[in-house]
Amino acid sequence: MGSSRLILHFCLILPLFVGNLSLGADPYFQASCVNTAGNYTANSTYQANLNTIFSQLTSHPDFNNGFYNLSAGQNSNHVNAVALCRGDRNQDECNTCLNETVSELRQRCPLYKEVVGWSEFCTLRYANRDLFGELETSPGSCLLNTQDVTDADRFNQALDNLLTSLSRLATAGGPRRKYAADNSTVGVFQTVYAMVQCSPDLSEEECGDCLSVAKDGIGGCCLGKIGCRILRPSCFLRYESVPFYQTPLPLPSPPPSPPPPPQSSTEGNGNQTTFMIINVVALVVGTLVLLVTSICIFQRTRNTRQHLLATDDDEVIRNDSLQFDFATVGAATNNFSDANKLGQGGFGAVYKGVLPNGQEWSEKQLLPKWGNRGGPDKLCMEILETGGQL
């Protein structure tokens, strides 16, 4: 156990990117603190202006279809901010998301003049330069579900077609909302669900360019994976193997423009949500055993892959909530003590562990023959009973 460079091998059970609306802070929150714009000093005018923008964002602003363009201050202390909520979210959800995002960014990027933050339901950017109407595809981030699809060729083809048609819909969405989501079947039993959205201040062409950059990002990040989010300042895309979006609110019809396309009723939004979560829970429970077994078996036949959450830019983001070093695992299981042993399975002993934040999981300590690189130190961890939270 002297080696400090252990690679933990994960068996992911939860549909990682399916949002649970009631859980508070987003465990997959991503932030990019932009170094090149420099820092402001504590208690400076710049900070005061930024705080003005923050309080405008979090004090129940007009909904404006979930898009905000704010600024404060003059000259070198001028701060611009652009915020965009996901197209299927209502005003309350949007406000909550912006509020949480502001808190996260205050903590993660203190003093940075320029920052981009991505929550599940909203994106917030601020800088000491113009942001409104600017197409920006960098910095970026990518989150992936590390589970492989079973029929990659067919899946990728279906996904590609779906994203192409969604991009077309979103770009044509007009100046108030550029959003589209839909599903597509993959063979008989599988469905892929996808969503794309651009900042509505982009032109149709810019939106198409942004989504095309995002789509190209799949290759370098999550090709062949069952779920992925590609995050860019001006647009994002996401796909999953389970439903994760709702019917968008109809846009209020403005006097001169054509009427919005017919929407199915949005009454019973809460029921829909409940239904989605129940659906997901049922799916998870139903496929739990199958997943663990098949992933573990599948994975052991191939070389260890790093489960890095990578960007197309020069940064690589490791999702801390999914990775634990050996010391953490040892401490959590009381050094794999017998008292923490839950049982002996086909792949090895199962231990109960308590993570530093109090959540319990169990893990399997695998037999030495399991992997060809990590030897007896290789672990296959299962996250159980986390209530949807990691």
Ligand X SMILES: *[C@@H]1O[C@H](CO)[C@@H](O)[C@H](O)[C@H]1NC(C)=O
**What residues line the site for ligand X (CB under 6 A)?**
35, 38-39, 42-43, 58, 60, 69, 71, 80, 95-96, 99, 103, 110-112, 132, 182-183, 191, 243
What tokens were used for 280?
Answer: 């997901």
Q: Tell me how far apart the alpha carbons of residues 137 and 83 are, in angstroms, rounded to a whole number.
A: 15
Cβ count near 264 (within 10 Å): 7
Q: Which is nearer to ligand X, 108 or 341 (CB)?
A: 108
Residue 103 vs 257, nearer CB to ligand X: 103
Smallest gap from residue 130 Cβ to ligand X (A):
7
Nearer to ligand X, 106 or 341 (CB): 106
Q: How far is the CB of 223 from ligand X (least distance, A)?
A: 23
CB of 305 to ligand X, least distance (A): 30
Residue from 304, 298, 302, 293 nearest 346 by CA: 293
Q: Which is nearer to ligand X, 264 or 303 (CB)?
A: 264
Shortest distance (Å) from residue 174 CB to ligand X: 14
- Phi, psi of 239, rounded to the nearest 5 degrees: -140, 155
- The pair of three-digit structure tokens given for residue 190, joined into one six-digit string: 């599988």
Sign of the C-alpha dihedral computed for residues 119, 122, 127 and 130 taken in this order: positive
50/381 with CB nearer ligand X: 50
Rounded least distance, CB 98 to ligand X, Å:
9
What does the DSSP assignment read for 254-308? PSSSPPPPP----TTHHHHHHHHHHHHHHHHHHHHHHHHHHHHHHHHTS------
Nearer to ligand X, 99 or 323 (CB): 99
Q: What is the dihedral of CA 255, 257, 263, 268, to 10 degrees?
A: -40
User: Percent helix, strand and coil across the chain, each rounded to 5?
Assistant: 30, 25, 40
Query: E strands of the chain, at which residues?
Result: 9-11, 30-39, 67-72, 79-85, 112-118, 122-127, 141-148, 178-186, 190-198, 225-231, 235-240, 309-310, 316-317, 341-345, 348-354, 360-366, 379-382
Long-range contacts of 48-52 (CB under 8 A, 24+ apart): 48/73, 49/73, 49/77, 49/78, 49/79, 50/79, 50/126
Q: How far is the CB of 104 from ligand X (least distance, A)?
A: 10
Nearer to ligand X, 247 or 372 (CB): 247
Which 8-state DSSP code applies to residue 86?
A: -
Q: At closest approach, how far in Å is the CB of 146 from ligand X?
A: 24
Q: Are 245 and 171 in contact (CB under 8 A)?
A: no
Q: How far apart are CA 190 and CA 168, in angstroms?
A: 24
Distance of closest approach, residue 112 Cβ to ligand X, in angstroms: 6
User: Residue 110: which residues within 8 A CB-CB, separation 6 or more?
Assistant: none
Tokens of 199: 């900042």
Q: To the nearest whole angstrom, how small is the minimum distance from the Cβ of residue 203 to ligand X?
A: 14
Q: Given the complex with ligand X, which of 32 and 299 has the nearer CB atom?
A: 32
Of the two residues 35 and 337, which places its CB atom closer to ligand X in the complex?
35
